Amino acid sequence: MSAATSTPLPPSSAGAPLLHIEQLHLWMRSFEGEAHVLAGVDLSVGRGEVWGLVGETGCGKSLTGLSVSRLVATPPGRYSQGRIVFDGQDLLGLDEERVRPLRGRRIGMIFQDPTTNLNPLFRIGDQLVDVALAAGARSPQILGLTPGASRAQQRAAARELAAQMLERVRIPNARERLDDHPHQFSGGMRQRVLIAMALIGRPDLLIADEPTTALDVSVQAQILSLLKEMVAEYRMAVLLITHNLGVVAQTCSHVAVMYAGTIVERGPVRDVLAAPRHPYTRALLKSIPTRDTPRGGLEGIPGTVPDLVRPPPGCRYAPRCVRASGACASAAPGLVHVAAAQAAAAAHEVACFHPHTSG
């Protein structure tokens, strides 16, 4: 990537993480009543960090990502408390007009379903070139140009960058394929085009919601290693939403485990996966199929995620928890460091009254 390496980093508040979600509470109006779907989410993502956000379906992972992109409609959503601070400004305090320039440029997004994101009417190359031109208008260095470059030079550079990005996401014959329309690509290929599109403008923060779930295992591994490469190259911050702990182990520097709208455990991947402290994290790890798991032998975790219109009092995991005591139903546990002497940046934290004490 010739044009890519010399760009200076945009300014960021000194010492503060690029993204800081603090005590975020979101309610969703539904048929049965208002569901308390995010119940005090705390999460910070710094430049150069890849945070995996894991948990069963319905735990609030996508709504957390959509909240950062400010894509939760209000109503039916309602934020009752909390802040989402991105590079020093609270996104929840911004109106749509001020959020729009951030979305897709400084905050890139990749969602699971590729059919909803590409315009079927336009050639892939034109769609990529548009995104590259918009990014080039913000920072001409992205196109490898100086500020006075002509429109024709900008278009040529944007097309070159589009071809390079398609090559990087392993689209065969990338240059020729710029002239194809989305329907000429398979689902997996379209997802790779979307990944190229999200990365072409070099966002400061990337939210990727199950980005490789639709891809076969070998392409998934290539894409995840590309993501890691780009994080190192551009010092991006990434929030990678996945239900797959294998993907987390392979790709992420940090992990946050989510249950029923709360973060129950978080920290560096090596600490959390090697020595999980929360009963839910342990149960998730145990439910990963291994080579020795007999076909159909996967148990999963007994019970289901609670109804969030009427969540259980105290710890939301209590009805399924093997370690629950009377105290667990009377108050909700907050995140605390598992070791008193840990540096804040590297903290391994758990929200549980009776955490496991060793690996």
Rounded Cα distance, 261 and 242, in Å: 15
Does the footprint of ligand SF4 cover residue 283 (CB under 6 A)?
Answer: no
Does the footprint of ligand SF4 cover residue 317 (CB under 6 A)?
Answer: yes
Q: Is 263 helix (H, G, I), strand (E, B) or coil?
A: strand
Q: Please report how close the Cβ of residue 171 comes to ligand ADP at its closest, in angstroms.
A: 28
Does the footprint of ligand SF4 cover residue 282 (CB under 6 A)?
Answer: no
Contact 321, 314 (CB under 8 A): no
Buried b (16+ CB within 10 A) or exposed e, 253-281: bbbbbbbbbbbbbbbbbebbbeebbbbbb
In the set 50, 321, 335, 338, which binds ligand SF4 (CB under 6 A)? 321
Contact 356, 279 (CB under 8 A): yes
> Counting Cβ atoms within 10 Å, is residue 343 exposed (0-12), middle (13-18) or buried (19+)?
exposed
Which DSSP string corresponds to 294-315? PTT-----SS-PPPSSSPPSS-
Nearer to ligand ADP, 10 or 76 (CB): 76
Residue 323 interface partner, choices ligand SF4, Mg ion, ligand ADP, none, CB cut-off 5-8 Å depending on type: ligand SF4
Does the footprint of Mg ion cover residue 62 (CB under 5 A)?
Answer: yes
CA atoms within 13 A on the CB side of 21: 24
In the set 24, 37, 85, 196, which binds ligand ADP (CB under 6 A)? 37
Rounded Cα distance, 358 and 105, in Å: 43
Bridge partners of residue 123, in order along the sequence = none
Is the bond preceding residue 75 a cis peptide, omega within 30 degrees?
A: yes
Residue 157 interface partner, choices Mg ion, ligand SF4, ligand ADP, none, CB cut-off 5-8 Å depending on type: none
In the set 24, 28, 236, 252, which binds ligand ADP (CB under 6 A)? 28
Does the footprint of ligand ADP cover residue 104 (CB under 6 A)?
Answer: no
Q: Please report how close the Cβ of residue 308 comes to ligand SF4 at its closest, in angstroms.
A: 16
Nearer to ligand ADP, 17 or 60 (CB): 60
Q: Please report how close the Cβ of residue 209 comes to ligand SF4 at its closest, in angstroms.
A: 26
Does the footprint of ligand ADP cover residue 158 (CB under 6 A)?
Answer: no
Rounded Cα distance, 197 and 289, in Å: 33
Does the footprint of ligand ADP cover residue 57 (CB under 6 A)?
Answer: yes
Does the footprint of ligand ADP cover residue 30 (CB under 6 A)?
Answer: yes
Does the footprint of ligand SF4 cover residue 353 (CB under 6 A)?
Answer: yes
Torsion region of 16: left, alpha or beta (phi above 0 gives left; psi -120 to 50 gives alpha): beta
Bridge partners of residue 254, in order along the sequence = 51, 268
Contact 232, 199 (CB under 8 A): no
Both structure tokens of 293:
């798991």
In the set 4, 20, 41, 62, which binds ligand ADP (CB under 6 A)? 62
Near ligand ADP in 293-352, by CB under 6 A? 308
Both structure tokens of 170:
């392993």
Nearer to Mg ion, 64 or 281 (CB): 64
Residue 163 interface partner, choices Mg ion, ligand SF4, ligand ADP, none, CB cut-off 5-8 Å depending on type: none
Nearer to ligand SF4, 46 or 306 (CB): 306
Bridge partners of residue 45, in order along the sequence = 19
Stretch that binds Mg ion, among 61-69, 125-133, 162-170, 256-264 (CB under 5 A): 61-69
Stretch that binds ligand SF4, among 32-40, 58-66, 269-277, 346-354 (CB under 6 A): 346-354
Is the bond preceding residue 76 a cis peptide, omega within 30 degrees?
A: yes
Size of the site for Mg ion (CB under 5 A): 1
Stretch that binds ligand ADP, among 59-67, 85-93, 221-229, 337-345 (CB under 6 A): 59-67
In the complex, the residues that contact ligand ADP under the rule CB under 6 A are 28, 30, 35, 37, 55, 57-63, 76, 308
List residues binding Mg ion (CB under 5 A): 62
Instruction: Enumerate binding residues for ligand SF4 (CB under 6 A).
Output: 279, 315, 317-318, 321, 323-324, 328, 333, 352-354
